Amino acid sequence: MWGFLLQRTVSAVFALFFVATVTFFLLHAIPGGPFDNDKKLPPEILHNLEAKYHLNDPLWKQYTDYLRGLALWDLGPSLKQEALSVNDIIRQGFPVSATLGALAVSIALVAGVTSGVVAALCHNRWQDYLVSVLTALGFAVPNFIMAGLLVYIFAYQLRWFPPALWGTPAQAVLPALALAAGPAAVIARFMRSSLLEVLQQDYIRTAKAKGLSQAMVVYRHALRNAFIPVLSYLGPMLATVFTGSFVVERIFAIPGLGQYYVTGIVNRDYTLTLGVTVFYSVLLITMNLLADLGYVALDPRIRLVDRTR
Amino acid sequence: MGSTTYWQDVWRRLKQNRPAMSGLVIIILLVILAVIGPYLTTYSYSTQDLTATDQGPGVRFWFGSDDLGRDIFTRTWYGARISLTIGVVTSLTSAVIGVIYGGISGIIGGKPDELMMRLVEILWSVPFLLYVIVLIVIMEPGLTAIVIALGTWYWVPMARIVRGQVLALKEQDFVLAARCLGAGPGRILFRHLLPNAMGPIIIQMTLVIPEAIFAEAFLSFLGLGVSAPMASWGVLASEGIKALKSFPWQLFFPAFFITVTILAFNILGDGLRDALDPRMR
Amino acid sequence: MFLLRRKTVNFLALSMTLLALAGCAGKPAGQDKPGQPGTKPAKDQVICFNLGSEPESLDPAVVEGKPEGTLLNAVFDGLVRYGKDNKLQPALAYRWDISPDGKRYTFYLRNAQWTNGEPVTAGDFEYAWKRVLDPKTGSSYAYQLFCLKNGEAYNAGKLKDPSQVGVKALDDQTLEVTLEAPTPHFLGLTAFMTYYPVNKKVVEANPKKWYMDTASFVTNGPFKLVKWEHNQKLELVKNPTYWEAQQVKLDKLVMTTVDSNDTALTMFETGQADFVYDPPKTQLARLRQEDKLSISPDVNTYFYLLNVTKKPFNDVRVRKALALAIDRESLVQKVTRGGEKPARAFVPEGLPDVDSAKDFRNAGGPLMDTYNAGEARKLLADAGYPGGMGFPEVAILFNTNDNHQKLAQAIQEMWKQNLGINVKLSNQEWKVLLKSQQSLDYDISRASWSADYLDAMTFMDMFVTNGGNNYTGWGNKEYDALIAKAKVTANSRERIKAMHDAEKILISEMPVIPLYFSTYSYLQSPRLKDVVVSPFAYYAEFRWAWVSED
């Protein structure tokens, strides 16, 4: 187990190095720089600005300087938010995005697993069809439309919830629902399908034959194995949701991290984009690791490290 | 010869599944409408009438008109061509790449699996917008560009899911039995593992369809996809949401047909899964 | 889908009367609607204004955006300021002398305090201005101080000694400014944020982050910042130590940083914000019907650039045909919908003519038809493309934005109907587009220009041959000569005439197709009174604002 974790950590460090490298060079390869605007700056001012952020150093030097900082998790200053470092920005934004994300994931898991199980147990009955229709709605309607509809109905027409900003529980309701709808539908679909599959398997039949009740069988045996595809989906999904959705955070004016994945690139804020990208990558790798460990926890027969050969 | 009867069997079981067949019929209807729909009116998708902007549904404009006075009915069915194509093609390409990649990663396991999964994580860490801007700079905008952009992106979740399934299935008794009988990893993967992983694979394929439809809208907006005035369902819906408070029909029609499409693919997918399942007879 | 709004400030500055900009649609700015109650102040003098984005900085030396300008205008006071009538009036300087050669200004400062109780001195101004020019500060608006003697040389690093820069505190209350050359609009410049004073002690104690903490963000204006929740809101309260505190009626001013204009509109319509600007285009018709919309003029022209180095745009007949085949009246009525005015020349309204009470645009009159399809067809046929036959495949390039896209689609259709030509549409992300324009890698491209200062020259010197912002490839010796003349001539009659003549050349040569003169649209709660809206560096001025009883 410890060997496995060590191996994962080493490979994760290499992966992060590659992510930073690829992103760094792609960012510098696309046209435009952080200080370009429709009105050209006088050359001496542009020079002063570039000097302030060491952007007039040769590219390889900027790259090695960046890597040196990254090694100590110093992600550099933001080129646009004048007084903030990228570390500051992540420190401010991530807790908000993560809170909202955790809320949304909880809603999605509860709603998704419940409706998936109901649909599977009532296979080809009306409950199943109802879940089909709801889940189709859930993932056919993307989050920006879902957010728009929620705002229109619950904030604009009914005035039950505030339309924007962050801080009170009431303000979290609509964005959490907008974020949860899609994942809930996806989880329900996976849950239904794999539960149907598991229920056909021999050990479940055996369990049933032994006289265990339907609920007991589902709870004890079927759910665990049915959860594996959900877990595969959850890994990357958690990383994405915890770092915030640009669309939802923008619509609800939430001070999270999501906006920077777009504005950083649009502004050519190199350090900010790199920083949030590497941060996302750390989260993605961690979540996938947890998902892998989750496979083993759900089904002890699964082996991540091949010990047979 | 054995596989022929298997597929005949699948088709027979699918035909008996009423919801699945109605899903299929809806998809066929949508395709027919996408082909003939634009010719049912006197307008083209680009014909503007600036004196008749934002009209509600009625005799002149069946689905209403948009903010440049264009017929939404015509634009909806024109958009169906783009969106249905993008959705299905992306779904298929991402499935092919993802199943092969994830399957190999899962069946081999160990260090190669580790390497392949880290590669996938590196790819998915690059911000999508950055990836798109790079593509815009190096590619001619158009349908091909979109398919390449989306096909090379959406196989990643498929790969993760297939790998997870393979990891779980390969330790089960029937696989161990096959291995004892001397089956190689390729045969085990395609004969034994993938047929048993069809459920999640089909679901992931249907999931990609709406994602691709809206990702296309985003890419078109950024300048990689089909250019205005041509518009897909995704573009129509994205524009419609902004007019929600004033002209709700501009959102309703494209969003309605996207949802119907997804619903049809879902129930067809469910039926297909049942029909493909080797144990469900 | 999404659009990032970040407007840089229009440095409109001239020590003269702003012109009455007549004839714009919507209700006039800052006036109460007749027949409504509301002359009695409400008990709660608290309002919420949506700033539209998180400030990138609050340091007057480095800020460049209009949101930042709006906030700083509420918390700082400069030497002079614009009054309710948009005329310059004394602020911290209660009077000033100008030397006969127009190169030396002496400002006499009144007794005023910083929020930490220390007096505002002439030394604070000297320190602040030199700090802007210091190359290490990296201020993108440093060029606004290049009119100071040795300002540019110091900023460029050619001059190391800051004591040679033309600003000096003679004593605590007297500031002497020496200019490089007579600059008639200098006094107006001193009203703007880059010229605000900063408290030397506070800034030097923490040069990078002094404004991040409300305790060390020491200011001298009508309001002071008491709370900054990042990416949420900034709370300002009335500053009791302000020298003119009795004029300030609002107790509290909340500025939210909501970026999406759709969300801001919902906040306004559900009573959570009292003032929001730039509502979504799709809602304008409804808002106008519900009498919520206010529109005020903006000194800005929206136009299309033509790449004249490329066929067929090297032919002036083609350029004119394209320009005349656009129905501008329909464009502004049906597509942009914000009360814009069809452009029949390049320089917009709002800039002074010889007689500063007159408008440059009105004096110059229209230089082209708003729409003339017949003439356009004829010109195109003369150029060798009768009925659009044989017209090469070209594209309209615009930056990724719904509004630009809508306009381009409308124009595409007009050209198709009127000229029989099919142009394609293509869009690029903003910074990619800038590169395409600069390298003349386009056919037709969308652009707009807003005034940097209150003179027609800010629009006219753009198109001199090889000018830094001339992305058309067009050049004309006669035009260059007229602009050069206007730049050195002291006689304002000759100067303005040269610019009128130059504009006639520009329009007859048509390297750019003017489309419309833009507007600034906003929503203001009827209970909010005496907010001053100006086309300057800020969206709204709240110094005199108050809330009436409903």
Task: State the pairing for strand pair C424-428/C233-238.
Answer: unpaired
- Neighbors of chain A by Cβ distance (3+ pairs < 8 Å): B, C
pLDDT in tens, A7-50: 889 989 999 999 999 999 999 999 888 998 877 888 888 999 99
The whole-chain average pLDDT of chain B stands at 87
H-type helices in chain A, by residue range? 2-29, 43-52, 59-71, 86-121, 126-140, 143-150, 169-199, 202-209, 214-217, 223-242, 246-251, 260-266, 270-298
pLDDT band per the 50, 70, 90 thresholds, residue B3 = low
pLDDT of residue C84: 83
Cβ–Cβ below 8 Å for C431 and A36: yes
Does residue B76 sit within a domain? Answer: no
Over residues A197-207, the mean pLDDT reads 76
Residue entry with tokens 């898991």: A109
Domain count of the fold of chain B:
2
pLDDT of residue C448: 92
CATH assignment of the domain containing B137: 1.10.3720.10
A144 near A247, Cβ under 8 Å? yes
C445's enclosing H/E stretch is strand C444-450
Q: Does C286 touch chain B (CB under 8 A)?
A: yes
pLDDT in tens, B170-185: 888 788 888 888 888 8
- Percent of chain B predicted with pLDDT > 70: 97
Query: Is residue B110 domain-shared with residue B150, that is, in the same domain?
Result: yes
Residue entry with tokens 């000033």: C96
Query: Is residue B223 domain-shared with residue B251, that is, in the same domain?
Result: no
Query: Is residue B190 domain-shared with residue B264, that is, in the same domain?
Result: no
pLDDT of residue C407: 95
Query: Is residue B176 domain-shared with residue B245, that is, in the same domain?
Result: no
Q: Mean pLDDT highest for which of B59-73, B250-264, C369-383?
A: C369-383
Over residues B238-265, the mean pLDDT reads 89
- Alpha carbons B240 and B254: distance in angstroms, whole number: 8
Q: Does the pLDDT at position B64 exceed 50?
A: yes
Q: Does the pLDDT at position A292 exceed 50?
A: yes
Kindly list the residues from chain C whose CB atom is less than 8 angstroms away from the CB atom of residue B50. 330, 333-335, 410
Query: Is residue B103 domain-shared with residue B186, that is, in the same domain?
Result: yes
Bridge-partner residues for C65, per DSSP? C8
C349 near C526, Cβ under 8 Å? no
Minimum Cα–Cα distance from C156: chain A residue? A44
Does residue B4 sit within a domain? Answer: no
Cβ–Cβ below 8 Å for A251 and C262: yes
Q: Does C233 touch chain A (CB under 8 A)?
A: yes
- Alpha carbons A101 and A182: distance in angstroms, whole number: 13
Which among B212, B227, B242 is the end of a domain?
Answer: B227
pLDDT of residue C35: 44
Over residues B118-137, the mean pLDDT reads 88
Task: State the pairing for strand pair C395-399/C444-450.
Answer: parallel
Q: Which long-range contacts (CB under 8 A, 24 or more apart) does A131-135 make?
A: A131/A188, A131/A192, A132/B19, A132/B263, A132/B266, A132/B267, A132/B270, A133/B263, A134/A185, A134/A188, A135/A185, A135/A186, A135/A188, A135/A189, A135/B266
pLDDT of residue A309: 40
Q: What's the pTM?
A: 0.88
Which pair of tokens denotes residue B250? 């501009």
Kindly list the residues from chain A whose CB atom is less than 8 angstroms away from the CB atom of residue C56. 80-82
Query: Is residue B159 domain-shared with residue B260, that is, in the same domain?
Result: no
Query: Is residue B108 domain-shared with residue B141, that is, in the same domain?
Result: yes
- Alpha carbons B59 and B53: distance in angstroms, whole number: 15
- Alpha carbons B101 and B81: distance in angstroms, whole number: 30
Does residue B78 sit within a domain? Answer: no
Q: Which of residues 200-239 of B touch C (CB under 8 A)?
A: 217-218, 221-223, 227-229, 238-239
Superfamily classification of domain A86-307? MetI-like (1.10.3720.10)
Would you give per-residue pLDDT tens digits along chain C (550 residues)?
333 334 444 333 333 333 333 333 333 444 444 445 567 888 899 999 999 999 999 999 998 888 999 999 999 999 999 888 777 899 999 999 999 888 999 999 999 999 999 999 999 999 999 999 999 998 988 988 998 999 999 999 999 999 999 999 999 999 999 998 887 778 888 988 999 999 999 999 998 889 999 999 999 999 999 999 999 999 999 999 999 999 999 999 999 999 999 999 999 999 999 999 999 988 898 999 999 999 988 889 999 999 999 989 999 999 999 999 999 999 999 999 989 999 999 999 988 888 877 899 999 999 999 999 999 999 999 999 999 999 999 999 999 888 999 999 999 999 999 999 999 998 888 888 999 999 999 999 999 998 877 788 889 989 999 888 899 999 999 999 999 988 877 788 898 999 999 999 999 999 999 999 999 899 999 999 999 987 667 889 999 999 998 7
B54 near C285, Cβ under 8 Å? yes
Does residue B51 sit within a domain? Answer: no
pLDDT of residue C400: 86
Count the neighbouring beta carbons within 10 Å of the beta carbon of residue C301.
23
- Neighbors of chain B by Cβ distance (3+ pairs < 8 Å): A, C
Query: Is residue B279 domain-shared with residue B194, that is, in the same domain?
Result: no
Cβ–Cβ below 8 Å for C285 and B245: no
Which among B227, B245, B272 is the end of a domain?
Answer: B227
Does residue B204 sit within a domain? Answer: yes
Q: Does the pLDDT at position B223 exceed 50?
A: yes
Does residue B73 sit within a domain? Answer: no
Q: What are phi and psi of C447, to 5 degrees?
A: -155, 165
Cβ–Cβ below 8 Å for B227 and C426: yes
Query: Is residue B104 domain-shared with residue B158, that is, in the same domain?
Result: yes
Its domain, for residue B109, covers 88-227
Query: Is residue B216 domain-shared with residue B130, that is, in the same domain?
Result: yes
3-state SS class at C352: strand
**Mind telling me how many Å the CA of B238 is from chain C's nearest CA?**
6
Which ipTM score applies to this complex? 0.89
Per-residue DSSP letters for C82-120? E-TTS-EEESSEEEEEE-TTS-EEEEEEPP-B-TTSPBP
Q: Which of A68-77, B50-59, C115-124 has the lowest mean pLDDT?
A: B50-59
pLDDT in tens, A112-156: 999 999 998 888 889 988 998 898 888 888 888 899 999 999 999
Does residue B56 sit within a domain? Answer: no
Query: Is residue B197 domain-shared with residue B281, that is, in the same domain?
Result: no
Kindly list the residues from chain A whose CB atom is less than 8 angstroms away from the CB atom of residue C143. 41-42, 45
- Residue B137 is nearest to which of A15, A31, A284, comparing CB atoms? A31
Cβ–Cβ below 8 Å for A23 and B130: yes
Q: Which of A300-304, B41-45, C316-320 has the lowest mean pLDDT?
A: A300-304
Query: Is residue B33 domain-shared with residue B111, that is, in the same domain?
Result: no
Kindly list the residues from chain B whose CB atom is less than 8 angstroms away from the CB atom of residue C427. 221-223, 227
Q: Does C227 touch chain A (CB under 8 A)?
A: no
- Neighbors of chain C by Cβ distance (3+ pairs < 8 Å): A, B
Over residues A178-194, the mean pLDDT reads 91
